[in-house]
Structure 1
């Protein structure tokens, strides 16, 4: 009889909701105050939600982030999307580095949620990956295997090079790592062939076939040259001109792709020490962490080519991609 009376009382549902949601009291504390059981409190709270005694509102820009996630999931065959909000929005001056740090932070959190001891993870070079590893919680230990997705870049800061990054990531998780220490781009096909016949390199290429996760950033070559690879003397002027003649839009893992997300053919492709695109596409969970509205068309191309399964992106870039899709 007592339970029946309480179930009919709007007042007690209101009080339970107020104590629980507004004052932050636990179910046990609310039950003691109202002299009812914890299960009754739970039912009262559910009733308060059902009858709209309490309503939940996710404020902007956070609600907009969720809406953009849903729109991107509708537009592309992605497994997951995370859209971040950062302090460089809401009228504040643009801060590309802060946006990069925010997507890297969410990338680190996501990776720590999904990684297991059974995984083999491939990592690419770059500033976003540098920040991501910085945000990893060293208390989470796994027996994961980590491997570089490509060779080293002597033209970039050592802290951004993939050999350093894979070492740091394996240290954070407590796993083992394998690294391609040779240069990412070789002078000719013959010298690359010699490198690929080394036993340690063969072992890494065999690991490419078993990768379960990859994580990388995204370099942009279109509509303007934004990728670090266009500025770091990685490419000779003639090589950059050649890629532009092939309609290059962007790069991932030292592989260059066009507006359809297909790898640009040519001698640069044949001289590159990196996982090949077809093998990369077979990885079950390809995570790309990217920021910067200027990368919208490049990101569209990568999505079109099926190069991404999990997208972690800033809000302004997400808006730009969604708007581009609505006008085409």
Structure 2
């Protein structure tokens, strides 16, 4: 904030006054007027200092996860779909974009609680996962590894696979293992040769050591990111949809029961096989919008999901389809 470092309030100045204000407000429970009177500055300045404290990371505001995991809809999701836990955020007054960010923030707040030292967290890609990484507070979990599960793609989006894994690893203080290969190649023979290369072979083998999996499913709608990212063409999408595709998981198509659809893209892809993602210690699905209800149902039915983060509206839609 312009002028902060030049402003003085008696014995404190600069960054110290921001910390002092934050302490008085959050720890001592003083209101803004009481702090303003004590420091001899305006209430508007106190508001600015509190905002700066949050922006600088001096203050982290979080809600107790139990408020969301013990919510009636969260409990019903677990009962209906056999989940171990669900985290449901309110969305009654929220528009689509606001609801999206509420779910993302909820997932970012809950994720560190779900991880333990020594975990190997496999990470999918997409806007949801990237924004989740951005929203995750910096922390450190000992001996945590983050693994990119899908190869790279030439995409107009900022949320490439390597960007998602790298950013999340930075936030969690984890080692990051990216996959240094394209997500899709032009020929199956070329993909097979690349998988056999010692470096790529070792990287793919490492992916299969993941014990937890963080992802959001993609849709099979015409504007699906699987097309926009160049992993599939519009013709590919139509081919898979005609054969029952309901969702995209780590760049691969699955049907309504969660089974992978064997098609022309599979031999050309570089990434973890779908069967390696079933029955892990933890599969954390983040579903921020109603457009992903059918895709989420497919992932749940396929055995990929043990934990879920979503909004109340999506939870109700899922329960209505149970």
The TM-score, its normalising length taken from structure 1, stands at: 0.73
d(CA) in 1 for partners of 2:216, 2:309: 10
Is 2:80 the counterpart of 1:83? no
Cα deviation 1:130-165 (Å, max 9, x = unaligned): 1111122214353311110110121242x3011122
Residue 232 of structure 1: how far off its partner (Å): 4.1
Q: Does 1:280 find its partner at 2:277?
A: yes
Match of 1:291 among 288, 297, 305: 288
Contact kept? 1:73, 1:81, Cα under 8 Å:
yes
**RMSD, aligned CA:** 2.1
Corresponding residue of 2:72:
67
Q: Which residue of 1 aligns with 2:240?
A: 243
Question: Which structure is larger by alpha-carbon Rg, 1 or 2?
Answer: 1
| TM score, norm. by length of structure 2 | 0.74
Per the alignment, residue 120 of structure 1 pairs with 120
Number of the residue aligned with 1:193? 192
Alignment of 1:132-151 (within 5 A): 132-151=132-151
- The answer to whether the Cα contact below 8 Å between 2:122 and 2:148 also exists between their aligned partners in 1 is yes
CA contact 2:278–2:302 (8 Å) conserved in 1: no
Which residues of 2 match residues 290-309 of structure 1 at below 5 A? 290-309=287-306
CA contact (8 A) 1:156 1:232 kept: yes
How far apart are residue 284 of structure 1 and its match? 1.2
Alignment length (residue pairs): 257
Question: 1: CA distance between counterparts of 2:114 and 2:267?
Answer: 34
1:262 matches 2:293:
no
* 1:275-304 alpha-carbon deviations (Å, 9 max, x no partner): 111111142111111111122222112111
CA contact (8 A) 1:227 1:250 kept: no
Partners of 1:200 and 1:282 in 2: CA distance: 27
SS at the partner of 1:287? strand
- Cα distance, 1:252 vs structure 2: 1.3
1:190-247 deviations in Å (ceiling 9; x for gaps): 11112111222222222222211110111112xx445322444432232122111211
Q: CA deviation at 1:309?
A: 1.0
2:123, 2:214 within 8 Å by CA — same for their partners in 1?
yes
In the alignment, the residues of structure 1 paired with residue 68 and residue 132 of structure 2 have an alpha-carbon distance, to the nearest angstrom, of 25
Separation in 2, partners of 1:257, 1:134: 28
User: Which residue of 2 is the match for residue 56 of structure 1?
Assistant: none
Mind listing any 5+ residue stretches in structure 1 that lack a counterpart? 1-23, 25-61
Deviations 1:79-137 (A, max 9, x none): 11111113xx23x5x2x222221111111122111222211111111111111111222
Asked if the contact 1:142–1:173 (Cα under 8 Å) also holds between the matched residues in 2, the reply is: no
Q: In structure 1, what is the Cα distance between the partners aligned to 2:188 and 2:155?
A: 20
Aligned counterpart for 1:312 among listed residues 301, 309, 312: 309
Contact 2:128 2:286 in 1 (8 A): yes
Partners of 1:124 and 1:172 in 2: CA distance: 16
Query: What is the aligned partner in structure 1 of residue 320 from structure 2?
Result: 323
Q: Which runs of 5+ in 2 are unaligned?
A: 1-28, 30-66
Could you list the per-position Cα deviations for residues 40-95 of structure 1 after superposition, in whole angstroms to 9, with x for gaps in the alignment?
xxxxxxxxxxxxxxxxxxxxxx8998121121111112111111113xx23x5x2x
* 1:213 corresponding residue in structure 2: 212
